[in-house]
Amino acid sequence: MPSRFRLHLLLIASLVFYGWSGPLFLVHLLVAAGLVYYFAIAIEKAEDKPRKQMIMTIAIVLLVLNLVGFKYTSFFNESLRGLFGWFGASYDVPVLNIILPLGISFYTFLMIGYLIDTLRGDKAERDPWVFGTFVFFFPKMIAGPIERGKNLLPQLRVPLTGFNYALMTAGLQLMLWGAFKKVVVADRIAPFVNRVYDDPHAFDGVAMVFATWLYAFQLYFDFSGYTDIALGAAMVFGIKLLPNFNRPYFAVSIQDFWKRWHISLSSWLNDYVYTPFSRSRWTGLKMYNLMLAGMILTFVVSGFWHGANWTFIVWGALHGSYVVVSLLAQKPWNKFAKNSGLTKRPKTYRALKIGVTFFLVCFAYIFFRSDSLADAGYIITHMHTGWGGFAGGIRSVIDGKLAEMALAILGIIVVMAPEWYKDHAKVGDIYRALPSWQRWGLVYAATVAVVILGAYYNLDQKFIYFRF
């Protein structure tokens, strides 16, 4: 096929892919994308900055209202119902069951970022085929990464050439690795986590802590597995999407964690929420206090973006509090580390920081995973129970499925082992240095594992981030 038609085919395939979730959602997103396309051009053509800002503001307000209407109307409705009930007043608005379009949080942020970049001087895309593929490109459509125009648009403007065998092979292998993480490991962990979090009152603190520890890996392998599949699929088409993870559970601080976890979201929030807010003057706050307030706001926005539930808002606010407290305590902590001799034992000090960071992340996951604040509160206030019968708590989670738990733990080790190396290239070099039959043997083994331990068991666990 001539190279000029390949982009057209890619866009059409992406439209069919998204339209499969519902034709009305496809029409809805086409309208939104069309408006953003023309709004960006209008921003670029506007003669002065105030007019550019006005056009951008109108466009962003429309996008946010669209997101709020679909994703948060039911949340606000039920929050009002609870508030009225607390005061003993009646609230007659019925429960609203609004179907959420797939990927709405992701494509909304993508288009908002594109509009802001246009205001800041980036060229608005005139080619509707290029812009349409930028919005609809199917590998990243449902759960990211949240792309930027600077990264993806230049790749789409260049005519897509024939397959690059090396890139295609690497992409297929990355897709297989992502499927392994999701289907073989994350889906195998899920039933144990669900068992506890679906009814936390039936378990003691040991079981809750164990389930939360397991959930940390389930969430990571589930989401990073999808990302690997998305990045790998894009590589097959000769396109490189933004990375989303970089060994997050080896972070030495919460700030470091957010430089490694859901990178496309954290960088988006930094560029389009935190930075503008921290540079604003309308608040009247001093610069340092403004920065701290900006961090709390940014993480609350992150939590609310994840889901229409108070649990996500608290999760985001908790991470923001972690960062603020760490900044306020940085000087006394550094002094303590020096006086105690920790700085003289860098490996021990690093291991301690990794352990503390992972503990804080897992503690916040209690809110992220719980169905309600009441469940999260129960788990936190009962974490201390059952430690006298530690083995009994673990057995209550396993529930006789010892082989399944053994496979889950083995899977965690297999996935995390390469991340133990500080340099990813070292792992890749070791793999590439293997004889061809050994490399393809590993590929074959992973494929068999995905088929036998995944499809055969029919665990039927959807990607967690699909609901966001």
Q: Which residues are catalytic?
A: 306
3-state secondary structure string across the chain? CCHHHHHHHHHHHHHHHHHCCCHHHHHHHHHHHHHHHHHHHHHHHCCCHHHHHHHHHHHHHHHHHHHHHHHCHHHHHHHHHHHHHHCCCCCCCCCCCCCCCCCHHHHHHHHHHHHHHHHCCCCCCCCHHHHHHHHHCHHHCCCCCCCCHHHHHHHHHCCCCCCCHHHHHHHHHHHHHHHHHHHHHHHHHHHHHHHHHCCHHHCCHHHHHHHHHHHHHHHHHHHHHHHHHHHHHHHHCCCCCCCCCCCHHHCCCHHHHCCCCCHHHHHHHHHHHHHHHHCCCCCCCCHHHHHHHHHHHHHHHHHHHHCCCHHHHHHHHHHHHHHHHHHHCHHHHHHHHHHCCHHHCHHHHHHHHHHHHHHHHHHHHHHHHCCCHHHHHHHHHCCCCCHHHHHHHHHHHHCCCHHHHHHHHHHHHHHHHHHHCCCHHHHHHHHHHCCHHHHHHHHHHHHHHHHHHHHCCCCCCCCHHHHC
| 256 C-beta neighbours (distance < 10 Å), count | 16
Residue pointed to by tokens 């590929």: 443
Cβ–Cβ < 8 Å for 231, 241: yes
Q: How far apart are CA 190 and CA 371, in angstroms?
A: 15
CB atoms within 10 A of CB 257: 23
In angstroms, the CA 235 to CA 170 distance is: 8
- Residues 194/195/201/202 CA torsion (nearest 10 deg): 180
Which residues lie below 8 Å from residue 132, measured CB to CB, with a gap of 6+? 11, 15, 33
Residue identified by tokens 């164990």 is 210
